[in-house]
Amino acid sequence: MDSFQYFMPVKIYFGKNCILEKKEVFRNFGKKAFLVTGQNSAKKNGSFHDITEALSSLDIDFVTFDQVEENPTTETIEKAARIGISEKVDFVIGIGGGSPMDAAKSIACLIANPGLTATALYEPVALKHLPLIEIPTTAGTGSETTPYSILTLHEKKTKASNKQSVFADVAFLDAKYMLHLPVSTTINTAVDALSHLIEGYLAVKSNFLSDIIAESGFKIIGECLDALKTGEFSFETREKLLLASTLGGFVIAQAGTSLPHLMGYALTYHRNIPHGQANGILTKAYLALFQEPKNQQKIKTFLNLLGFSSLDAFGDFLEQVLPEKSSFSEEEIKQFTALSVQNKTKLATFPEKISEEIIYQIYQKSLL
Ligand code: NAP
Ligand code: FE
State mean pLDDT over 11-17: 98
Q: Given this model, what pLDDT does residue 78 score? A: 98
**How much of the chain, in percent, has pLDDT values that exceed 70?**
100
Q: Given this model, what pLDDT does residue 60 score? A: 98
Confidence of residue 116 (pLDDT cuts 50, 70, 90): very high
Q: Are 189 and 248 in contact (CB under 8 A)?
A: no
Rounded CA separation 333/137 (Å)? 33
User: In this structure, which ligand is nearest to the CA of 176?
Assistant: 1
Q: Given this model, what pLDDT does residue 210 score? A: 98
Q: Given this model, what pLDDT does residue 154 score? A: 93
Averaged pLDDT score across all residues of the chain: 97
Amino acid 176 reads K
Atom number of ligand 1 nearest to Cα 152 = 32
Q: Give the Cα-Cα-Cα angle 154, 158, 163 (nearest 5 degrees).
A: 90
Confidence of residue 325 (pLDDT cuts 50, 70, 90): confident
User: In this structure, which ligand is nearest to the CA of 280?
Assistant: 2
Contacts 24+ apart (CB under 8 A), 228-234: 228/186, 228/187, 228/190, 228/321, 229/317, 229/320, 229/321, 231/183, 231/186, 231/187, 233/178, 233/183, 233/186
CA 137–ligand 1 middle distance (angstroms):
8
Question: How do residues 221-278 score in pLDDT, each as one tens digit?
Answer: 999 999 999 999 999 999 999 999 999 999 999 999 999 999 999 999 999 999 999 9
Beta carbons within 8 Å of 56's beta carbon, 6+ residues apart:
none
Atom number of ligand 1 nearest to Cα 47 = 18
State mean pLDDT over 350-361: 98
- Largest alpha-carbon pair distance within the chain? 59
State mean pLDDT over 103-131: 98
Tell me which residues have their CB closer than 6 angstroms to ligand 1: 38-42, 45, 70-71, 96-99, 102, 137-138, 140-143, 146, 148, 150, 159, 177-178, 180-181, 185, 189, 192, 275-276
Q: Given this model, what pLDDT does residue 1 score? A: 87
State mean pLDDT over 312-325: 96
Q: Is residue 100 pLDDT above 90, yes or no?
A: yes
Amino acid 336 reads F
State mean pLDDT over 325-332: 94
State mean pLDDT over 323-334: 95
State mean pLDDT over 176-199: 98
| DSSP states along 204-253 | TT--HHHHHHHHHHHHHHHTTHHHHHHT---HHHHHHHHHHHHHHHHHHH
CA 161–ligand 2 middle distance (angstroms):
11
91: β partners: 33
Atom number of ligand 1 nearest to Cα 100 = 3
Q: Given this model, what pLDDT does residue 171 score? A: 98
Atom number of ligand 1 nearest to Cα 39 = 47
Question: How do residues 20-56 score in pLDDT, each as one tens digit?
Answer: 999 999 999 999 999 999 999 999 999 999 999 999 9
Phi/psi at 260 (nearest 5 deg)? -60, -40
Question: How do residues 122-151 score in pLDDT, each as one tens digit?
Answer: 999 999 999 999 999 999 999 999 999 999
State mean pLDDT over 151-159: 92
Confidence of residue 104 (pLDDT cuts 50, 70, 90): very high
| DSSP states along 116-176 | --GGGGGSSSPPP---EEEEESSSS--GGG----EEEEGGGTEEEE-S-----SEEEE-GG
CA 275–ligand 1 middle distance (angstroms):
9
Q: Given this model, what pLDDT does residue 39 score? A: 98
State mean pLDDT over 311-329: 96
Q: Are 235 and 174 in contact (CB under 8 A)?
A: no
State mean pLDDT over 168-191: 98
Q: Is residue 197 pLDDT above 90, yes or no?
A: yes
